[in-house]
Amino acid sequence: MSAQAAVPDPIGDRVRNEIDKAFRRNIRGLEYLAQPAPAMGLTPKDVVLKNGTLNLCHYRPMAEEVYRVPVLMVMATTNKASIFDLAPGQSLIEFLLKAGFDVYVIDWSPPAPAEKRLRIEDYVLRFIPDCIHHVQGETGETDISIIGYCMGGILSLIYAGLHPDGPLTNLACFTTPIDFEQMGLFRAWTDRRHFDVDSLVDTLGNIPPELVSGAFEMLRPAAKIAGMVQLWDNLWNDDYVKSYRMFDRWATDQLPLAGEYFRQTVKELMWENRLYKNELMIGGRHADLRAIKVPLLHIVAEHDHIAPYDATKALMGLVDMADKQEIMLKGGHVSVIAGVNAAKRMWPKLDEWLGERSI
């Protein structure tokens, strides 16, 4: 080897590297435009219960033995549950299956026009209990653990408050807002002096997904442009592009919200803040959070702009049980539960917490 070849040339290396990236950007950019959206939710499953907007899926076990207590995951009503199952190796569901959990997931279909009359009552006194009954029948186990994400966490908490005598055994909530006075821009935009929720629901029936996704995007209006620029910058990186496309596809695949459910959410939770005040009445019954006595885990995100920590932190103070734990992790509202960092940070903590309580 000649002495000349051993002389480091950082500027030359960098130029070569950037030219190489530019070539790959151009090639991958064309591939990006030509390829269909990536497939998600590929972990084998069976839809075991359907009732209008409700779909209960059972994921086929991947371990030789499973924990005694089955797990029911309740997805937020705004999005598809594919965020729990992005891709092999990036799937919370696959992770839980391999860790030995028997996993059921409540996934929502777009509510039909006739389902505009669905209320919170339908979700927590009919859909979730029906699913639990079904899981009990299939597994032969009375006990059940529930994991709720965002609005799914709220529904799970309300269900738990209405059914303090079981069969719920463990409750884990992800990024679940409780104090709606701390919901920032959502609170400002739904100011009762200007936001006519009655007119909106009476006119539209179900709330269109564009309205919901538009509100989410407006929380960070520069994020979309910055995201596109970052995508261009990273077009040479297959992993980045794949991850971007999956998250983008999931985020744009928003669901309409049942009209009455939306009206009730705005009036009871956003305006009156009844969940935080522990005054929420559902079907004439008090959804008493202080009555919940099962172990509770709340995973919150440090940089959550949708359910900020000021809105989520109230949960620990509202419940009385001794076995309660809040874990704050780096990440945002979605990245705390899905993606490469979630697999390293959140999933092992959930596995550890739930495994000890599932025997």
Smallest gap from residue 308 Cβ to another protein (A): 11
Smallest gap from residue 290 Cβ to another protein (A): 29
Q: What are residue 138's phi and psi, to 5 degrees?
A: -75, -35
Residue 112 found at the interface with another protein (CB under 8 A):
yes
Instruction: Choose between 221 and 284: whose C-beta lies nearer to another protein.
Output: 221
Instruction: Choose between 189 and 347: whose C-beta lies nearer to another protein.
Output: 189
Residue 165 found at the interface with another protein (CB under 8 A):
no
Among 25, 43, 91, 102, binds another protein (CB under 8 A): 102
What sign for the dihedral angle of Cα 215, 216, 220, 222?
negative
What sign for the dihedral angle of Cα 291, 289, 174, 140?
positive
Instruction: Choose between 188 and 340: whose C-beta lies nearer to another protein.
Output: 188
Smallest gap from residue 101 Cβ to another protein (A): 8
Residue 194 found at the interface with another protein (CB under 8 A):
yes
Smallest gap from residue 206 Cβ to another protein (A): 11
Among 42, 126, 136, 200, binds another protein (CB under 8 A): 200
Opening angle at CA 183, ends 172 and 188, nearest 5: 155
Q: Would you mind telling me the total number of residues written for the chain in this entry?
A: 359
Smallest gap from residue 25 Cβ to another protein (A): 12
Packing angle between helix 238-252 and helix 223-233, nearest 10 degrees? 150
Instruction: Choose between 147 and 157: whose C-beta lies nearer to another protein.
Output: 147
Strand order in the sheet with 144-149: 45-51, 54-59, 103-108, 71-74, 144-149, 168-174, 296-301, 324-329
Q: Interacting stretch for another protein, rule CB under 8 A, among 33-41, 83-91, 195-203, 329-337?
A: 195-203
Cis previous bond, 167, omega within 30:
yes
Residue 67 found at the interface with another protein (CB under 8 A):
yes
Residue 184 found at the interface with another protein (CB under 8 A):
yes
Smallest gap from residue 91 Cβ to another protein (A): 19
| Residue 131 CA from chain centroid, whole number | 19
At which residue do the structure tokens 């522990």 appear? 278
Instruction: Choose between 260 and 319: whose C-beta lies nearer to another protein.
Output: 260
Q: Are 160 and 294 in contact (CB under 8 A)?
A: yes
List, in sequence order, every beta strand (DSSP E) within 20-150.
45-51, 54-59, 71-74, 103-108, 144-149
Q: How many CB atoms lie within 10 A of CB 210?
A: 10
Instruction: Choose between 58 and 289: whose C-beta lies nearer to another protein.
Output: 58
User: Of 125, 171, 130, 123, nearest to 354 (Cα)?
Assistant: 171
Residue 48 found at the interface with another protein (CB under 8 A):
yes
Active site residues: 150
Residue 2 found at the interface with another protein (CB under 8 A):
no
Interface ranges with another protein (CB under 8 A):
14, 17-18, 46-48, 50-51, 60-61, 63-68, 100, 102, 112-114, 138-139, 141, 184-185, 188-189, 191, 193-196, 199-200, 203-204, 218-223, 225-226, 229-230, 233, 352, 355-356, 358-359
